[in-house]
Amino acid sequence: MNPITPFSFFFGKDMFRHAILLSGITIIAWFLTQNGIGLASYFFWISLIMISTIVIWRAGDFFSPAASYIQNKHDIPQSIKAAVIDAIASSFPEFCVAVIAVIMIGRAEVGIASIVGSALYNVLVIPAAAGLVAASPMVISKEVVWRDNIYYLGVTLLLGAMLWLFPNEWGAGVAILFLLAYLGYVFLLQRDFKKSKNQNADSHQPDILDDKTEDDDELELKSEKKAWVWLVSMMIVMGGATHVLVESSLALGDMLGIDGVLMGFVVIAAGTSVPDTALSVISAKKGHYDAAVSNVFGSNIFDICICLSIPILLALAMSGEPTAIDLPQLGLIWSLIGATFIAAYLFWSNNYTLTKAKAGMMGMIYLLIILVAFSF
């Protein structure tokens, strides 16, 4: 087999050319940097950021049909699949960022900032992207808006409260509280799942939709075992690419004189949110509007509750010390809370319909918040 074939298959024909181009730029920039041309180092780190983001994006694309296959095998409703299965795997880059920040480089504030930035990106940019590509205004079920959005808002307020009450360090108590919050969310999903199955049994109607499209044919999944292999493999790929993304972003920030917290809030957050964007856009194009929105809230809840708590517990087990926190930019948290309220209103108004005008408004709000963050 041609050694280039696996890479061509992974990136796809169109994206493969871009990946080759960026790889060439990275190699040339590295060579020039080694020969004392300092300006080339900017291109080197920027190219690495772009390549790692593309890898995360493509890994998320391969994950989507595998998750759909498992969903269909186990008769899982669309909203449950999006809020749990999609959210866990698509949030794996954020989990890796938190592990790297807390355990490997000892800067938990970078991990927190990236998760807050990712949540902000998810709640504003992803619905905006989904709304703009949808064939019609996105009519979202009342259940998704009230269950997922309200619970996510509660988790966001919990995060703000923990940073307010414990601004210097987080230990097992804070981590366990976040874990309990996520278990509560899973309980709500399981309750709704049972309710959905009972209703479908009474009406003799299937609860799920067939996700099979021409885009899914590239994997040709024929067994659940193969689907799980793809899931795990893509999570490993996303983990490695995330490590490169974090190191490259922090290095570029040092060169530009930008604090690592802001790089985490903007650059790392956007890079790790690419899988979420891809999954929601795919769902919106298929007309699965509940899935497109559930993925946003489910991913954010997982980011805050799991991606923060597990690394803290791991660090505590390894060192016996609580995780030090140094996040002076608490305004980032309040911007997320404010954006969540705005998103909730936009989802709730007009009979739970997200129009293209609303989608454009959400995108503009995100850009405004980023500009304000850099101005300080």
Give the pLDDT of residue 148. Answer: 78
Q: Which two tokens stand for residue 229?
A: 């292999």
Which of the four pLDDT bands, split at 50, 70 and 90, describes residue 81? low
Query: Across the strands, what pairs with 264?
Result: none
Answer whether residue 77 shows pLDDT above 70. no
Express each pLDDT in 196-215 by its tens digit: 666 655 555 444 444 444 44
**pTM exceeds 0.85, yes or no:** no
Q: What is the pLDDT of residues 110-136, one digit of tens each?
A: 888 898 899 899 889 999 999 999 888
Instruction: Give residue-wise pLDDT tens across range 10-37.
Output: 777 677 777 888 888 888 888 888 877 8
322 DSSP assignment: P
Angle at 28 between CA 27 and CA 32, to 5 degrees: 120
Of the segments 52-56, 72-76, 138-142, 191-195, which one has the largest average pLDDT value? 52-56
Please tell me the chain's helix, strand, coil percentages from 3-state DSSP, rounded to the nearest 5: 80, 0, 15
The string of DSSP codes covering 184-242 is: HHHHHHHHHHHHHHHHHHHHT--S------GGGGGT---SHHHHHHHHHHHHHHHHHHH
- Give the tens place of pLDDT for each residue, 143-170: 777 777 788 889 988 988 888 888 888 8
Task: Look at residue 217 and tell me whether its pLDDT is greater than 60.
Answer: no
Residue 371: how many CB atoms within 10 A of its CB? 9
Contacts of 172 (CB under 8 A, 6+ apart): 312, 313, 316, 322
Mean pLDDT of 84-108: 79
Asked if residue 180 has pLDDT above 90, the reply is yes
Taken in order of first residue, the domains within the chain and their CATH numbers are 5-204+215-375 (1.20.1420.30)
For residue 78, name the pLDDT band (cuts at 50, 70, 90). low
